Amino acid sequence: MTRPKLLLPGPIDIWEETLEALSRQVLPHYGDDFNPIWLETVSMVKEIFQTENDVIIMTAPGSGALDAAVASLFEPQDKVFAVNNGPFAGRLIEILNAYNCEVIPIDGEWGLPGNVDKMRQALHHHTNVAGIAVVANDTGVGVRNPVEAYAELAREFDLPIFVDGVSAMGGYDIPVDKWGLDIAVTSSNKALETAPGLGIISVSDRAWDIINSKNKAHRGWYYDLGRWKQLIDQSPTNPYPTTQATSLIVSLHASLKRIMEKETLKGHWARYAWAQSAVRTGLRALACHPVVADDAASYTVTTFRIHEDMRSVGELRDYLIAHHGIMVANAMGSFENRILRAGHMGKAGSQEYIEPFLLGVEDFLRTVYKKDIPQGLSLEGLRETTKQ
């Protein structure tokens, strides 16, 4: 069976040079072969994050890195304000609750960006707040939250800000130092365009001061960022408490080299913006309308409503796999049975993937629902400019 093209919110299809790097013989996590790769990888991650902060790269999924960052920045009974407008916002709240934080959720409608003024009003009624938590880009609903505005709000109340950037960092401009983000978390298998398995955390000086002031009894061992900080200060070439997943580091290094040298960081963002526009324009032409308004739409995944005549999202999803070798994903939670998600990260953010996806949706509507759709109607967004 031919492997399908992945247009998923993750994992993603990765570029050939990254795949080749992933297939190389395993390196030890120290020594002259690995150390230069490690140091250059950390340097490039800092360029992506636009930060001079310490950066931790750990063997863990994105949710594992979130777990470590929550456990380290907060302690039980800390009062944390959290934006709650999507399934991954809910995931972050679950992690906060797992550490017995007192979470104050600022609820919002799924598909709409978080309401900063609503959080501001709520903050005026509370004291002893430990921080603000927000998901930058919720792939469950395909919405971007206004991280810069939340960072300004955090400064207004002199609070640390914790950003889940798992599906955001690298996909668009999020300048960590300029915006004053204390914790920013991402993973390897989204807009950094390699395989799953690495969690990445940037930690500001203020965040380190807070971490060092907290009771660490609840942190465990591996997920105590204070332990990682000690190792960073002791040995920049070996700042990890266990054997690293060196093959994943090597593949991340190859992917970041591709981004920084072949595309440039701004070119990488531009490709993601182009892919977002091409997918949304094409789906609209087929009356499969995006859920989120243009000004808040994710650059990494598009959520869209199926055509009003279609019976279920499963019909289209299964047809694309069976007849076009393309895999998209159901939405999550209350969106699950009426909305699909098409990711456009990695190779899926190229014409090689977007064109057959849109033509596959066209074919489905013509073949199954007998719609009179001209061949190529959905490709207008692709014709405007061509990437990759």
- The secondary structure of 12-60 as a DSSP string is -PPPHHHHHHHTSPPPPSSSTTTHHHHHHHHHHHHHHHT--SEEEEEES
| Domains annotated on the chain, with CATH | 5-9+264-384 (3.90.1150.10), 16-260 (3.40.640.10)
CB within 8 A of 348, min separation 6: which ones?
A: 5, 6, 7, 8, 12, 13, 275, 342, 354
Asked if residues 166 and 198 have their Cβ atoms less than 8 Å apart, the reply is no
Q: Which residue has the tokens 């401009």?
A: 173
Query: pTM of the entire structure?
Result: 0.96
Could you give the dihedral angle defined by the CA atoms of residues 214, 215, 218 and 224, in that order, rounded to the nearest 10 degrees?
50
Q: What's the pLDDT score for residue 227?
A: 97
Q: Are 388 and 353 in contact (CB under 8 A)?
A: no
Contact between 252 and 194 under an 8 Å Cβ cutoff? The reply is yes
The count of residues in the chain is 388
Beta-carbon neighbour count of residue 11 at 10 Å? 17
Helix (H) / strand (E) containing 301: strand 301-305
- For CA atoms 23, 29, 35, 40, give the dihedral sign: positive
pLDDT at 387 (0 to 100): 47
Say if strands 326-327 and 301-305 run parallel, antiparallel, or are unpaired: unpaired
Per-residue tens of pLDDT for the chain, all 388 residues:
689 999 999 999 999 999 999 999 999 999 999 999 999 999 999 999 999 999 999 999 999 999 999 999 999 999 999 999 999 999 999 999 999 999 999 999 999 999 999 999 999 999 999 999 999 999 999 999 999 999 999 999 999 999 999 999 999 999 999 999 999 999 999 999 999 999 999 999 999 999 999 999 899 999 999 999 999 999 989 999 999 999 999 999 999 999 999 999 999 999 999 999 999 999 999 999 999 999 999 999 999 998 888 888 999 999 999 999 999 999 887 777 789 999 999 999 999 999 999 999 999 999 999 999 999 999 987 876 554 4
Nearest to 349 by CA among 274, 257, 261: 274
Separation of alpha carbons 385 and 373, rounded Å? 23
Three-state DSSP class for residue 240: coil
Predicted local confidence at residue 1, as pLDDT: 62
Burial of 206 (0-12, 13-18, 19+ CB in 10 A): middle
Q: What angle do CA 246, 200, 64 make, to 5 degrees?
A: 95
pLDDT at 164: 99
Question: Which pair of structure tokens corresponds to residue 126?
Answer: 């509370």
- Neighbour count for residue 172 (Cβ, 10 Å): 19
| Residues 6+ positions from 313 with CB-CB distance below 8 Å | 306, 330, 331, 337, 338, 339, 340
Cβ-based neighbours of 353, under 8 Å, separated by 6 or more = 5, 7, 13, 326, 344, 347
pLDDT of res. 388: 47
CA-CA-CA-CA torsion sign (214, 50, 198, 138): positive
